[in-house]
Structures are given as structure tokens and as C-alpha cells.
Amino acid sequence: MGDNQAGAGRALGIITLVVAAVLGSTYVLGRSLVPDAPHAGSTVTATGADHPEYADQPEYADQSAPDDTDASQAHGAETPAPQSSDGTPQDSNTGPMGTWVNTGTTGVALTFDDGPNPDFTPQVLAILRQYRVTATFCVVGKNAQAYPWLVQQIVDEGHTLCNHSWDHDVTLGARSAEWIQADLLRTSEAIRAAAPDAPIAWYRQPGGAWTYSVISVSRDLGMAPLHWTLDPSDWRTPGAKRIASLVVDGAQPGSIVLLHDAGGDRQGTVDALHRILPELTSRFDVQALPNRGL
């Protein structure tokens, strides 16, 4: 009798262990199918955080994206705003999280990020001068501090300025509001040290990695968050012909075009401007964004 009871007890114990194992596996599987809740202040869009040319620079070393990321999708290429029948943008405020991706007019705006740079910025300025075109320069604070005469030249030649963070920190938006504010203020101070009276109406987050925090802080500091409509991926140095073709073929009324005058070898971008500018100026009014947020 005792042996029968012991055997029954062992059988019951085995059955209990099997049932527990099955239930545990089911729970783990179910949890794996449920997405994690978003964290407050997390990056909602992180487009364009793929600048391999910065990999050997400590301040830009965090800008790698998965190898299979499509260039045009990664950097937010061609995000046109709705347009009316006459080509006038209906709503310029259509970018990620309320950022600006459209000029609000039928004109086109060229923007140049990551400078100034003593090798490429003067060449860009010379070509813009040749075609009587103004543009918007999204300036990195460290570069503004290093090359203040170029910031002054940008302003003197009628171009507008945009704050692009102190050292191109793609993860800036994930930091505390106090950290973000200090970074943006430090950048604006470096810009104003070079060009004391120049307005800074815009802020562009490196990599397009926008968060609610960085947008809120930039607006509190009087800067409108600036995204883009069209990115020819010149940061990947595909060559002047490819850059020019993507801009010329992709530009539409209201487009904000993302280009670079620093952050790597930008000679391809410089050379592409010799085709881009005559083509665009024959079709659009190509001017800098205004010295005030749209």
C-alpha cells in the first residue's frame, strides 16, 4: 500500500512539473509577441543617423545605422507636403513630430549641414554667389567656434543660419531637457560670437533623430525645428552626377533640400552644385529660409 502511494505521489509530481513547464513556455512566448511600451522622451523618428564618414571622429562615432538601411529611407528623402492644384503647398508643417519639411511657398530652399568647413564652405559660397542664390546653413557649434570668419561670411552674403547642435550629437534628443538646452545655447553662443547680430531662427537635429524633448527645448529657445523634404544622400559621397540627378529630378515646389558642406569629403556636393543651381533656378525661386520660423 505504501509503495502504491509513493508511486502515485511521484507521478503527480512529474505531471505538476510538466504542466508548469508548459505554462511557463506559453507565458514567455506571449510576452515576446507583445511590444514594449515606449519610454517617455524616446526617439520617435531616427531617420538619417547613418554617416559612415564620421566613424573615425569621436564626436560623430555614434552615427551608424544597420547595413541594410536604404539610403533614401534612412535619411528621410522626398517627403513632399500636400499641394493644391496650382502647386502651392497646402500645409508646410507636415514633417516628423511637427517639424518643418516645406518652405511654405512654391520656391525651393537649399540647406547645408555640419559646417562651416574651410575647404568646402568657401567653394559653396562662391557658387551660390555666382548664381545669386541664398541658402540656409545648419552650423555645428564646434565648427562655428573654430572658423568664425566663415560664419560671418555666410551672414554677410545674405544666407540664414540654423543651430545644428554643439558636436553633431545624434542622441541629443534622448538626454535631459537641461542637457539639451545647454547644448543648444552653447551652439548659439558660438554662432553669435562670430556674427553677433545674426538671427538663429532654426534648429535641425543631427540625423533627424527628433524627440519631443529636443523639439520643445528648441521652440522654447525661439528656434523652429527644421527637417527636410529631399535628401540626395550626399553624405554617402555617391559622386557629383548622382547627387545632382537626385536633386534636379526630385525637387518640387516647396522642397527643402538637405546637403552638406562639412563632415567628410564634400567635393562631390560642391561639383554637383554647378548642375543643380542652373537647373533649379530655371524652374524655381531658390532662396534661403527666412530669418524667422515659419
Instruction: Give the integer Cα–Cα distance in Å for 238 and 8.
Output: 74
Give pLDDT tens digits for 128-160.
Answer: 999 999 999 999 999 999 999 999 999 999 999
Each residue's pLDDT tens digit, 7-17:
555 554 444 44
Cα–Cα distance measured from residue 69 to residue 124, given in angstroms and rounded to the nearest whole number: 29
Position 130 scores a pLDDT of 98
pLDDT confidence of residue 24: 40
Kindly give the parts of the chain with pLDDT less than 50: 1-2, 6, 12-93
pLDDT at 292: 75
Enter the C-alpha cell of residue 48: 538619417
Task: Return the beta strands (E) in 182-275 as ranges.
Answer: 200-203, 224-225, 256-260
**What number of CA atoms fall less than 13 Å from residue 206's CA on the CB side?**
29
Active site residues: 113, 260
pLDDT of res. 185: 98
